[in-house]
C-alpha cells in the first residue's frame, strides 16, 4: 500500500480487506505493546511483537533477563552485547515474509528501532503505516526516573560519555535524558504520523483506529 499519501478512504479499505499493516514506534513504556494487544484482542489484528522475537532468538524468556545480560554501557563487553542485540532486532524487524493468516497486522517495535540499519527502516516505512506514540519533551524527566526504577535493555548508541570526576550514576543521569531527546527526534522523523500518546490512553481498539484515521488525508 502507498503510505506517504494514504487517504482515509484507502485506510478504511485496507482495514476492511485485512491488508492493513500498522507499526507503532516510540519510547519504551509509552504504550506500544498495550495498544497492539488491544488491537489484537478487540479488532482481530495479528500482533507481531519484536521484543518477543529477540528474546527467543537470544535464548531468553523475559525482558529482565535481557536487561541483566546487556548491562550498563560501562560494563565489560557491553559494546559487543549491544551489537548482538541490535543485529537480532534488525533481523526480526525486516521480515520479508510474514504470514498474517488473512489478518491486519500491528507491528510492535522496540524503543531502539531507530538505530537499525537504513534498509530495515526503509522496509518498515514502505510496508507499514508508521505511527509514533509521541511524548512531550517535558516527559523526559519522568521517563528517566522510571528507567532507573526498572531498567530495560537499551542501545546507548554512543551517548554514554563519562566526564572526568563523574560517578557512574552521575554519568547515567546526565546522558540518559540526552539519549531520550535524540530518540524523540528520530521517532518523529521515521514516522508517517505522530500522535500524542495521551490521545490513545484508555481507547478501545476501534477508537484507536478512528484516532489514527483523523491524521490521514481526506
pLDDT at 2: 65
Residue 88 included in any domain: yes
Per-residue pLDDT of the chain (218 residues; tens, 9 = 90+): 567 789 999 999 999 999 999 999 999 889 999 999 999 999 999 999 999 999 999 999 888 888 889 988 888 999 999 999 999 999 999 987 788 889 999 999 999 999 999 999 999 999 999 999 999 988 888 888 887 887 666 889 999 999 999 988 889 889 999 999 999 999 999 999 999 999 999 999 999 999 999 999 99
Q: How far apart are CA 126 and CA 164, in angstroms?
A: 44
Helix (H/G/I), strand (E/B), else coil: 213: helix
- Burial bucket for residue 154 (CB in 10 Å: 0-12, 13-18, 19+): buried
Nearest to 14 by CA among 5, 6, 25, 26: 6
Give the gyration radius of the chain's Cα atoms.
18
Residue 2 included in any domain: no
Degrees (nearest 5) of the Cα angle 184, 158, 90?
A: 70
- Give the C-alpha distances (Å, rounded to integers) separating 70 from 1, 29, 134, 159, 178: 37, 19, 26, 16, 20
Residue 15 included in any domain: yes
9-34 core/surface letters (b: 16 or more CB in 10 A; e: else): ebbeebbeeeebbbbbbbbbbbbbbe
Residue 20 included in any domain: yes
Q: How far apart are CA 48 and CA 33, in angstroms?
A: 10
pLDDT at 151: 63
Q: Number of H helices and number of E strands within the chain?
A: 9, 5
Residue 3 included in any domain: no
Domain containing residue 113: CATH number: 3.40.50.300
Q: Residues 132, 195: contact at Cβ < 8 Å?
A: yes
Q: Residues 4, 10: contact at Cβ < 8 Å?
A: no
Number of compact structural domains in the chain: 1
Residue 106 included in any domain: yes
Which range marks the domain in which residue 27 is found? 8-214
Q: How far apart are CA 114 and CA 154, in angstroms?
A: 12
Residue 93 included in any domain: yes
Residue 34 included in any domain: yes
Amino acid at each position: 500500500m502507498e503510505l506517504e499519501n494514504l487517504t482515509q478512504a484507502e485506510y478504511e479499505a485496507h482495514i476492511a480487506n485485512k491488508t492493513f499493516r500498522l507499526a507503532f514506534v516510540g519510547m519504551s513504556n509509552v504504550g506500544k505493546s498495550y495498544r497492539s494487544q488491544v488491537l489484537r484482542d478487540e479488532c482481530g489484528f495479528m500482533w507481531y511483537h519484536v521484543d518477543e522475537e529477540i528474546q527467543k532468538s537470544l535464548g531468553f524468556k523475559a525482558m529482565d533477563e535481557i536487561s541483566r545480560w546487556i548491562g550498563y554501557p560501562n560494563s565489560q563487553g557491553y559494546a559487543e552485547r549491544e551489537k548482538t542485540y541490535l543485529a537480532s532486532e534488525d533481523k526480526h524487524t525486516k521480515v520479508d515474509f510474514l504470514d498474517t493468516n488473512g489478518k491486519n497486522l500491528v507491528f510492535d517495535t522496540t524503543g531502539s528501532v531507530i538505530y537499525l540499519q537504513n534498509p530495515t527502516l526503509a522496509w518498515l516505512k514502505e510496508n507499514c503505516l508508521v505511527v509514533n506514540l509521541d511524548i512531550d519533551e517535558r516527559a523526559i524527566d519522568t521517563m528517566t526516573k522510571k528507567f532507573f526504577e526498572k531498567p530495560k535493555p537499551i542501545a546507548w548508541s554512543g551517548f554514554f560519555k563519562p566526564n572526568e570526576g563523574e560517578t557512574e550514576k552521575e554519568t547515567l543521569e546526565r546522558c540518559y535524558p540526552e539519549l531520550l531527546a535524540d530518540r524523540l527526534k528520530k521517532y518523529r522523523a521515521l514516522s508517517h504520523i505522530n500522535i500524542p500518546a495521551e490521545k490513545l490512553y484508555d481507547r478501545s481498539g476501534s477508537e484507536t483506529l478512528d484516532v489514527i484515521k483523523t491524521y490521514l488525508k481526506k
